[in-house]
Structure 1
């Protein structure tokens, strides 16, 4: 699989026959010009995962792409397919399993919103959105959150250990002044058999 990390939570997955863009948000750049998409997936409604101003142009440039969103994001976009936990969706030649369901708790005074994780291609790639839900199938490549108001570094490490991917690709790093510090902890505390591989922003990489 080819993966492009456009910064923060936004990744492009290319299986060779299917192209899927996940979470084009306001902290990410470069996704605006992506073409030949089969689907755009949104995990939840927060602006760093869903740029409502840029999304219409992106979809106009990809008229064949499905727009798949969680229930909380649906009112902000036009003509979406709503993804709910337990759904198994078909995108091109690839399956997308919907998991999780709730955003991680930031603070007890802040309402919890929907969040859908996406397991793409029978475990080829897992994007958890803003949650640390562990799916019940093997994951080859994990999009590993690096920093967030709802998460400590130790929680990210435990999540990586629970999922046990072959490769952990750090994402959700834009809130950190020095994401390399988190990456070092991931490298030092990773489970046996896992490679931690930060991707160069905007560069297509085989994983």
Structure 2
């Protein structure tokens, strides 16, 4: 399947469909991302958590209302927001639960984790679901959730966040030990910061057998 990264944490997966068409799934089209472009022609939308940089509710709801086939999965609060904003699509909006498995647009999905990483004791912790797509790529949202009982070939790494430091990012990659890793959650990094953080990630990941590579917005790779 083909994976395309958009700005920040938005990722799109495309593969041939069973009917000769295309199956497309999008994760976390947030306010920093190219929402309409990412969701164009998509049949499934996964949301890790409620923060606006991971789900632009208004623009995602517009996509749900304009498409008769787009389905969405999200934690309960976000599913409710999407249902309220896109009432005609209510039957296609589902609550994502931890430790679940389901099919979304021909993709097999497993869910892991349940909470956003701690930002500060004064900031409430919200629900966060990580998604393993077709046993190939894991999107953790805003967490360092390590999927249990499975090998993760491709890890999407939250490379920069208010809730992390570089050492924790490196420890996360080491804990998961994927074959390959790509950075997400990087919209707030400038070129200098990107070079510094990803330089550490490439060097340390390589010591543990992981190939870490940068993806620019709209750049694609075959998995």
TM-score, normalising length from structure 2? 0.87
Aligned to 1:102, what secondary structure does the other structure show?
coil
Highest Rg: 1 or 2?
2
Find 2:202's aligned residue among 184, 187, 193: 187
Q: Which of residues 35, 42, 45 in structure 1 aligns to 2:47?
A: 42
Rounded Cα–Cα distance in structure 1 between residues aligned with 2:204 and 2:41:
38
Provide the C-alpha distance between the structure 2 equivalents of 1:3 and 1:183, rounded to a whole number of angstroms. 20
Aligned residue in 2 for 1:161: 174
Higher helix share: 2
Asked if 2 retains the 8 angstrom alpha-carbon contact of 1:69 and 1:81, the reply is: yes
* Structure 1 consecutive aligned stretches of length 4 or more whose deviation exceeds 4 Å: none
- 1:7-156 correspondence to structure 2 within 5 Å: 7-17=7-17, 18-29=23-34, 31-33=35-37, 34-78=39-83, 79=90, 80-122=93-135, 124-136=136-148, 137-156=150-169
Deviations 1:93-125 (A, max 9, x none): 221011100000000111111000001112x01
Cα distance, 1:60 vs structure 2: 3.5
Tell me if the contact between 2:157 and 2:181 (Cα under 8 Å) persists in the aligned partners.
yes
Superimposed CA distance per residue, residues 117-153 of structure 1 (whole angstroms, 9 cap, x where no aligned partner): 001112x010000000100111111110110001111
C-alpha root-mean-square deviation of aligned residues, in Å? 1.4
| 1:35–1:62 contact (8 Å) kept in structure 2 | no
Distance 1:7 1:81 in 2: 25
Cα contact 1:72–1:113 (8 A) shared by 2: no
Following superposition, the deviation at residue 92 of structure 1 comes to 2.8
Aligned equivalents of 1:150 and 1:72: distance in 2? 21
Q: What TM-score does the superposition give when structure 1 sets the normalisation length?
A: 0.93
How far apart are the structure 2 equivalents of 1:62 and 1:180? 39
How many pairs does the alignment contain?
205
Q: Give the unaligned 5+ runs of structure 1.
A: none
Tell me the secondary structure at the aligned position of residue 72 of structure 1: helix
Partner of 1:5: 5
Structure 2: runs of 5+ lacking an equivalent: 18-22, 84-89
Stretch of structure 1 that moved more, 128-137 or 184-193:
184-193
